[in-house]
Amino acid sequence: MRNAAFLAIGVVLILVQANLYRVLGWMHFNGATPSLLLPLVIFLGVHEHSMARGALLAFALGYFLDLVASAPMWLFTFITVANWWLSRVAGVRLTAQTFITRMSLGFVFALIESAMVLILLAVFGSDTRRPLEIGNIVLPRAIATALFAPLVFRIAQRIH
């Protein structure tokens, strides 16, 4: 039941993120769209005890993000599982209990996620200009993700 709740919240967060992109673009804040799914994946990496369950949830959420996003297929699936694994490794040493640590985790992992996207698009992408264009929105996106991270962590904590 809890797994279905995490999947449902993840789908809702992805849909909100997609519509938030349109609202922020209309308000001329292009590139400041937060990754609302990333704090949920970090939460799963830090708090989920079962590695199989956490990896499968991260895979399913990343796959749905691939279906919704206009990126190459399997890009966000790979990045979501990689971020889950990195947060799992860092979760031994970090605790996401306070407001500041949640924001800093969101910021750092948003930078890591953006770096992975840029590297994978540069290596495997057909458009050589796309990583340069995306590179301009890394910092605003990381800041916006950090601002929304405590809210997503609070929602995930209630489900957990």
- 26-81 per-position pLDDT tens digit: 777 777 889 999 999 999 998 888 899 999 999 999 999 999 987 788 999 999 99
The number of residues making up the chain comes to 160
Token pair listed for 77: 């699936």
Spell out the residues 6+ positions from residue 107 whose beta carbon is closer than 8 angstroms to its own: 142, 143, 145, 146, 149
Q: What was the pLDDT predicted at 121? A: 87
Distance CA 70, CA 10 (A): 18
Residue-wise pLDDT for 66-115, tens only, equals 999 877 889 999 999 999 999 988 875 666 678 888 899 899 999 999 99
Token pair listed for 19: 């519509």
For residue 6, the SS3 value is helix
Distance CA 69, CA 156 (A): 23
Q: Is 14 exposed, middle or buried (0-12, 13-18, 19+ CB in 10 A)?
A: buried
Which of these ranges, 4-8, 41-45, 94-98, 118-122, has the smallest mean pLDDT?
Answer: 94-98
Q: What was the pLDDT predicted at 134? A: 81
Q: Specify the higher pLDDT residue, 139 or 26.
A: 139
| Cα 104-11-119 angle, rounded to 5 deg | 55
Q: What was the pLDDT predicted at 36? A: 94
Torsion of CA 69, 37, 114, 103, to 10 degrees: 150
Question: CB of 138 within 8 A of CB of 114?
Answer: yes
Distance CA 70, CA 121 (A): 13
Task: Give the residue among 30, 29, 151, 60 at the shortest CA–CA distance from 102.
Answer: 151
